[in-house]
Structure 1
């Protein structure tokens, strides 16, 4: 159960067996059914989550009732509402399972304790946060591009998960209609 996470950690830092065990002991396994919420709008986010199996989407619903997906979380990805987690204010996002999903979760108090017990973990989470920040910046730039450029960038970054997502979810992530997405896909197929 912890192998996927420990392999992820090993990409960033060296963690000995004892430190790895301390880290694993601080985590809780949570299992979600398809369409079950990990977080709902209005709730205060209490934990960070590492996906070990399955997939989630993080989204908001605008004033006109349209969903805007800001992030996906699949195997080897961390997902949370970082703002709600850090400020302990109600979330504006929903995090919902797209399929049967298992996450390892850690609350902020346990994480702060881990930083003292296993200081090298602070470096790991620092690197993870840097990467998340860079992805967030890239996402802002993506939304300034044309619909076709957005879709091509999506394929470049997330082509491996495209088949696991509905057309509706891809369109909501790209900020375009399903009809526009269908047209772009059709035009791409004609070019092949």
Structure 2
């Protein structure tokens, strides 16, 4: 819980009583690697705050290819935001890449926290704004940058993830096939 409270403290200051309310609204859970927490077509009932491990969200296209939307490492949140906010069936899968520990927050408890601890509404607004900016930048990067430039940006932004993730997931995240990614990395090593 310390990581969660420390992360919240970067944006808002909670009293000890408010911290207690936040903790009581959440649920700790540990999962083994490769555990699917959410499937396409299901309603996302929780957002997940990562304490340990790496989670990823992805879609599967009509040809069975996975397209990684996001990764979440310790200190990050992950959810199918469309489904979580609307409480309608979503499009994403969420899966643990490795043994993981998470703190789960239900939509109902999040709404309750907004009433009981109004600072949490500010906290989540800031997170959503930051996420919106990051997603906009990623879209612009995907439209404007070469695959090499997108990979370079990914390695600089997430140096802790490079050695923890399968190469095919990194390839999917930057929008290339695993074969292209392998050839691209070989070219980069020769430089």
Please state which band the TM-score falls in when normalised by the shorter chain.
Answer: over 0.9
Aligned residue number for residue 116 of structure 2: 117
| 2:157 equivalent in structure 1 | 157
- Listed one character per residue, the Cα deviations across residues 152-190 of structure 1 (whole Å, up to 9, x for unaligned) are 111121122110001111111111112221222222222
Q: Which runs of 5 or more residues in structure 1 are unaligned? A: none
1:12-67 CA distances to partner (integer Å, 9 max, x unpaired)? 11111111011001000121111101111111111111101101110000111111
Aligned: 1:95 with 2:66: no
Counterpart in the other structure of 1:189: 189
Structure 1 residues 132-162: Cα deviation after superposition (integer angstroms, max 9, x where no partner): 1111111211211211111111112112211
Residues 63-115 of structure 1 show CA distances to partners (whole Å, capped at 9, x for unaligned) of: 11111001001100000001011112111110010000111011111111111
Tell me which residue corresponds to 1:170.
170
| Counterpart position of 1:104 | 103
The equivalent residue for 2:52 is: 53
Kept in 2: contact 1:54–1:98 (CA 8 A) = yes
* Cα RMSD for the two superposed structures: 1.0
Following TM superposition, by how much is the alpha carbon of 1:126 offset from its aligned partner in structure 2, in angstroms?
Answer: 0.8
In structure 1, the residue matched to 2:37 is 38
TM-score with structure 2 setting the length: 0.96
Secondary structure, in 3 states, of the residue corresponding to 1:112?
helix
Q: What is the DSSP-based 3-state SS (H/G/I as helix, E as strand, rest coil) of the residue aligned with 2:163?
A: helix
